Amino acid sequence: MGKAIAIFNQKGGVGKTTTNINLGACLALKGKRVLMLDIDPQGNTTSGIGVSKKELEYTVYELLIEDNFDPRDAVLHTSVENLDLIPANVDLAGAEIEMVQLEGREKRLQKAIDKIRNDYDYIFIDCPPSLGLLTINSLSAVESVLIPIQCEFYALEGVSQLMSTIELVRKNLKPDLEVEGVVLSMFDGRTNLSIQVVQEVKKYFGAKVYSTVIPRNIRLAEAPSFGMPIVEYDPRSKGAEAYREFAEEFLEREGVL
Ligand SMILES: Nc1ncnc2c1ncn2[C@@H]1O[C@H](COP(=O)(O)OP(=O)(O)OP(=O)(O)O)[C@@H](O)[C@H]1O
């Protein structure tokens, strides 16, 4: 049965979408069947993998709102073999409000995901940078949370809020929700700040921090505008190398390698 993982940090711009697309693509290239679920109304995972947000027949919106919707109808295949996507666009912003009145409003995503778990090895959910109902749905639908943290000043700001959100979900909705791991992104080895952030994050999260650190790499920032994961856009770049290494480490920890 597939494992569902939410890529979560309510802080914006820390590398959630970049990690979703590139970890997903690297795992898919290793033969894992991967589904990326875009639950962010900005739809950055969707456009970043080359899918136009304007021409979507179905999105995560239907999956959350329509009781008898078959999630497979919303699945799109990407240019990477084994890598599928359930897309999102701005319609999803409405779902957050509409869901308030629906039965089982915190568990709607889990219900939908359970219908397709067996089709995949991993299901990654790209959470929006907020703590609303979309995020709560994501956290109650998954086994674990992958937390990207940007190597910047105030990196740990918001982390205690993030951990209390996880705790709240554990208490009320999903007692066995785990922290899968913490991945440091946008590392710049030339600055003391980046090095300090790594130390601080390791002090806070201990062994949960992956030893692979994702460097700041311009090719990673360019790739989404070409609708490609880094391993296709520039396979020899530092960014591609880092995400390949991260995928290895991720699988090692899973005990799959
Ligand atoms: N390692 C990196 N090196 C250079 N640029 C990066 C790197 N990781 C992400 N970026 C760029 O930084 C910006 C924010 O990254 P990303 O969209 O992955 O963050 P996010 O946490 O998903 O944002 P949001 O909270 O808005 O959903 C994007 O423009 C992305 O291309």
Question: Is there an atom of ligand 1 within 6 Å of 39 CB?
Answer: no
pLDDT value for 75: 97
Question: Is there an atom of ligand 1 within 6 Å of 217 CB?
Answer: yes
Distance in angstroms (rounded) separating the CA atoms of residues 205 and 174: 21
Strands (E), 66-207: 76-77, 83-86, 122-126, 144-150, 178-185
Task: Decide if 257 is inside a domain.
Answer: no
CATH number for the domain spanning 87: value is 3.40.50.300
For the segment 203-226, what is each residue's pLDDT rounded down to a tens digit?
999 999 999 999 999 999 999 999
Question: How many domains, the chain?
Answer: 1
Nearest CA to ligand 1 atom 11: 221
Residues 6 or more apart from 64 whose CB is under 8 A from it? 92, 95, 99, 108, 109, 112, 137
Task: Tell me, in angstroms, the distance from the centre of ligand 1 to residue 152's CA.
Answer: 13
Task: Decide if 83 is inside a domain.
Answer: yes
pLDDT at 48 over 70: yes
* ipTM, interface predicted TM-score of the complex: 0.98
Q: What are 16's two structure tokens?
A: 């959630």
For the segment 125-161, what is each residue's pLDDT rounded down to a tens digit?
999 888 889 999 999 999 999 999 999 888 888 888 8
Contact (Cβ atoms closer than 8 angstroms) between residue 151 and residue 192: no
Task: Tell me, in angstroms, the distance from the centre of ligand 1 to residue 175's CA.
Answer: 30
Task: Decide if 255 is inside a domain.
Answer: no
Task: Decide if 254 is inside a domain.
Answer: no
For the segment 181-202, what is each residue's pLDDT rounded down to a tens digit?
999 999 998 888 888 889 999 9
Task: Decide if 256 is inside a domain.
Answer: no
Task: Decide if 98 is inside a domain.
Answer: yes
pLDDT value for 257: 63
- The strands making up 178-185's β-sheet, listed across from edge to edge, are 76-77, 83-86, 34-38, 122-126, 3-7, 144-150, 178-185
Question: Is there an atom of ligand 1 within 6 Å of 186 CB?
Answer: yes
Helix/strand number for the chain, H first, E second: 11, 7
Phi, psi dihedrals of residue 84, rounded to the nearest 5°: -110, 165
Whole-number percent of the chain with pLDDT over 70: 99
Question: Please, how many CA atoms are within 13 Å of residue 106, restricted to the half-sphere of its CB?
Answer: 12
Atom of ligand 1 nearest to the CA of 15: 18
For the segment 81-130, what is each residue's pLDDT rounded down to a tens digit?
999 999 999 999 888 889 988 888 999 999 999 999 999 999 999 998 88
Q: Which domain holds residue 166?
A: 3-249
Tell me the average pLDDT of the chain.
94
Distance in angstroms (rounded) separating the CA atoms of residues 213 and 225: 23
To which residue do tokens 């779902």 refer?
95
